[in-house]
Amino acid sequence: MPVDKKRVLDTGAERHPATAPTPQNEAILGDFAKTVLMPGDPLRSKLIAENYLEDAKLVNNVRGIQGYTGTYKGKPLSVMASGMGMASMGIYAYELFNFYDVDHIIRVGTAGAINIDLKVRTVVAGIAASTNCGFATSQFNIKGHFSASATYRLLETAVNVAREMDIDMKVGNLYCTDLFYDASGAAVEWGELGHLAVEMESYALYTCAMEAGKESLTICTVSDHVLTGESLDAITRQNTFTDMIEIALETAVRL
């Protein structure tokens, strides 16, 4: 259901009209391109802007959540961080879709493998996201369970791009959790139910896109393996994973 941009939002501290800029984003309407790549890490946002975009301009740096707009192969394109977790993604994706007229968000992030056949550095695209969180059910009057799904057009385009680039991108369901440290070990059980990887943002992104009538997709790189214990260090996660980024960029120029 499309969101009424004129409705008043309750921030918990004060009420303000749903317009840009916002308390979280200093950009004005028109600063963002129609397509935004969204890593979790602000430093990965900076890396993408500096290495792939032409004439990249910093349009948001509130709380260090860096957002840039430039061009890629002549097409306007933005990149902005989401921060960690569904609460953070839910703020920035909602605002981009509903306040800044963004039409497509492609998340480019990291995930933990929960399928034994996946290897570290494997690229994964999420068809849909399951969750242990009430992100959808707590705010919508839903008589059931909300299935948060990627947009098929974006997914199909990304799959075709990966094939053309000869990258073996795996496609399947993601498990999106609120808990980075989870004493229950639930991620293993979700893997046994056919999910490929665990991460913390996709369910909120897909939900925000579906509510706004917009398009979204998550493309992740496996940075660690829940079942085998293999992992990569923070600097490697921040500065590499170019296959994922380049699939997203090539997908964006075809939209």
Catalytically active residues are 224
Would you list the DSSP string of 36-100? EEE-SSHHHHHHHHHHH-EEEEEEE-GGG--EEEEEETTEEEEEE---SHHHHHHHHHHHHHHTS
| Packing angle of the helix pair 152-164, 242-252 (nearest 10 deg) | 120
**Cβ contact 39:48 at 8 Å:** yes
Distance of CA 130 to the CA centre of its chain: 15
Encoded tokens for 65: 């959540």
Strand partners, 161: none
Could you identify the residue written with the tokens 């009420």?
Answer: 15
**Cβ contact 41:81 at 8 Å:** yes
